[in-house]
Structure 1
Amino acid sequence: MAGDRALPAPAALVRLAAVGFLLMLCSSPAAVGVVSARKVGQTCALDRNCAAGLHCETCVANGNVRPRCTRVAPVDPQTKARDLPFNRYAWLTTHNSFARLGQRSQTGVAIATPWSQQDTVTEQLNNGVRGLMLDMYDFRNDIWLCHSYGGICQNFTAFQPAVNVLREVERFLSRNRAEVVTIFVEDYVESPMGLTRVLNASGLARYMLPVWRMPKTGGDWPLLSDMVRDDHRLLVFTSKAAKEAAEGIAYEWRYVVENQYGTKGMVRGTCHNRAESAAMNDLSRSLVLVNYFRDLPAFPEACKDNSAPLMDALAACHAKSGDRWANYIAVDFYKRSDRGGAAEATDKANGGLVCGCGSISACNANGTCTPRHGRTPKGIFNASSDAAAWRPPSSLQWQRLVLLPALLAVLRL
């Protein structure tokens, strides 16, 4: 009919389809299913948007409501130096490593005690955690991991038999022949040879560093490389002094100085020793443990605690410990931060211990430090939008070079 609008010619349809297709290829990464590897502090939607060793999360407690890529794993100090004494390394440590968020008790009763971590012990070890804090109790004619009170494990404070988690550690050590793990036992076990039995049952006893190899009056520990060579790749410390003589398990505070745990230990600028420990600057103990976690674990606040305040606490304890950097840095919810978190704190301590640099990532094989250039200031993230920050990956570069001229040619038809 005369009033009907004419249908587009086939050539016009082809041109429109070509323009749409070319624009899709040359536009944002989301349009073609490309996932960019975002760096620390850049915005993200999913963990897979972030580079290796990072994950995607928010830190509302610090005012960061947009999800950003944050660090999980510290740099392995063995990539820089293997032949230093063990007390010249720092290790990321998890407080109440067994108390996983949302976990139910293997008694079948709902847990009525706080959780302290987000993932399993195996996942923690795979993410670079090398220190584990485990609370062990006599329970049900066995040794259980409990987060309890009064020295008594209850159905609603019991997580699981200790042998289960210790077997996770054994599997990790058997598959990773160069790794060393430390276990700090908050020890409520009264049954005779109870710790020895559970260590034997898990298969871990064969990895334990003998007490006779530990320095009693300060000084250097065995070389890390020697510990690996001799397969003495597990340190176990107990909070009960008598068990060193009775079971050959090292009494922690004969070898370690440790600051006050809990909220009292988080006062800015302070680093007091806990009651059982010698003074932080007592050089007759060669290892330094820094705790930084609240009396009651707080998942929302942990990202703030594990950021700038943790770095401040690390520096304060360095000053109070005779200018010694922490060998163990213990936190709740180790994956939570607003940027580098507990991983960055561990890198800082390793930088000081291994080569005297500001971070282990700056250490060179010859003992010098690599200058750091263009670092984003603390607390400041990339302010550009996702679209402005995106750059096409190499797999799309040819499309830009070839298809854009083709698009212009189509438009001239």
Structure 2
Amino acid sequence: MCVKDSNCAQGLHCETCLANGHVAPRCTRIQPSNPLNKVKGLPFNKYSWLTTHNSFAIIGEKSLPGTTRLSPSNQQDSITSQLNNGVRGLMLDMYDFMNDIWLCHSFGGNCYNFTAYQPALNTLKEVEAFLAANPSEIVSIFIEDYVTSPQGLTKVFTAADLKKYWFPVNRMPKNGEDWPLVSDMIAQNQRLVVFTSKSSKEASEGIAYEWRYLVENQYKAVFSG
């Protein structure tokens, strides 16, 4: 418990975490330590990257007109604020909805008015703006993929102007080898690492099927290697 920032140790401040239902203020770290400041020269998979679950499900995000959103929220910060505060992995649930690709916190493989958050393009444009402004940063996106429209993901990433940062699937290690060095990924401007939960998308759209390259422990996904 705390009352003001001065009650907290260095690097922490006093706040509530509404997304977790914690209304009592407590000392909270809002920015993680940058792993690249601890040690340099390692492969991408040898670092720990802070990732948010349902990154798009933000408290206070407007619902569609005439609709009350019923799905729960998980985050207090916007995508831009998450990235600026040190998040480097985003978990996004993508659906076909209203003739577009939307981010929804939904069920049954379908998006509804009362589970929709916003078009995926809006969020992806925030990612593009961050990568453009921070040429030494790498962002990973983990898609819970319910998109069935042909080339749907490719189209929305292209519209967001993110393909220029794309880390190609043919550079990803498949047998537990190390990933490329972070410095190499930055030098080649391959700074966006994208995974899908649909295995077929690797062949059809060149988007990596996550379980060929990731393993999962109690702390969720880990880059294999």
Provide the TM-score with structure 1 as the length reference.
0.50
Q: CA deviation at 1:57?
A: 2.6
RMSD: 2.3
Q: Secondary structure at the match of 1:235?
A: strand
Aligned ranges for residues 5-16 of structure 1 at < 5 Å?
Answer: none
What is the aligned counterpart of 2:15 among 24, 46, 57? 57
1:205 corresponds to 2:163: yes
Q: Distance in 2 between matches of 1:87 and 1:178?
A: 16
What is the aligned counterpart of 2:58 among 85, 100, 122? 100
The answer to whether the 8 A contact 2:216-2:222 is kept is: no
The answer to whether the 8 A contact 1:53-1:71 is kept is: yes
1:163 corresponds to 2:90: no
Q: Distance in 1 between matches of 2:144 and 2:23?
A: 37
1:154 matched residue in structure 2: 112
Q: Distance in 2 between matches of 1:248 and 1:65?
A: 43
Q: CA deviation at 1:230?
A: 0.6
1:186 matched residue in structure 2: 144
The answer to whether the 8 A contact 1:107-1:158 is kept is: no
1:250 matched residue in structure 2: 208
Q: Identify unmatched segments of 5+ residues in structure 2.
A: none
The answer to whether the 8 A contact 2:197-2:209 is kept is: yes
1:121 corresponds to 2:79: yes
Q: Distance in 1 between matches of 2:161 and 2:11?
A: 30
Q: Secondary structure at the match of 1:91?
A: coil
Q: Distance in 2 between matches of 1:207 and 1:167?
A: 13
> Relative to structure 1, is the Cα distance of residues 54 and 217 closer, same or farther in structure 2, using a 3 angstrom cutoff?
same
Q: Secondary structure at the match of 1:119?
A: coil
Q: CA deviation at 1:51?
A: 7.2
Q: CA deviation at 1:235?
A: 0.4
Q: Distance in 1 between matches of 2:180 and 2:43?
A: 5
Letter of the 2:68 partner, please give it: A
Q: Secondary structure at the match of 2:178?
A: coil
Q: Secondary structure at the match of 1:246?
A: helix
Q: Distance in 2 between matches of 1:190 and 1:200?
A: 17
Q: Distance in 1 between matches of 2:65 and 2:151?
A: 24
Which one has the largest radius of gyration?
Answer: 1
Deviations 1:25-45 (A, max 9, x none): xxxxxxxxxxxxxxxx8x442
Q: Distance in 2 between matches of 1:149 and 1:126?
A: 30
2:28 matched residue in structure 1: 70
1:139 matched residue in structure 2: 97
Q: Distance in 1 between matches of 2:129 and 2:6?
A: 27
What is the aligned counterpart of 2:187 among 213, 229, 244? 229
Larger RCO (alpha carbons 8 Å, 6+ apart)? 1
The answer to whether the 8 A contact 1:103-1:111 is kept is: no
Deviations 1:77-110 (A, max 9, x none): 1112331111100011110000011322245522
Deviations 1:120-170 (A, max 9, x none): 111111111111000000001100000111111000100000000000011
1:174 matched residue in structure 2: 132
Structure with more of its chain in strand, by fraction? 2
Q: Distance in 1 between matches of 2:7 and 2:25?
A: 11
The answer to whether the 8 A contact 1:96-1:134 is kept is: yes
> Relative to structure 1, is the Cα distance of residues 65 and 105 closer, same or farther in structure 2, using a 3 angstrom cutoff?
closer
Q: Distance in 1 between matches of 2:205 and 2:72?
A: 31
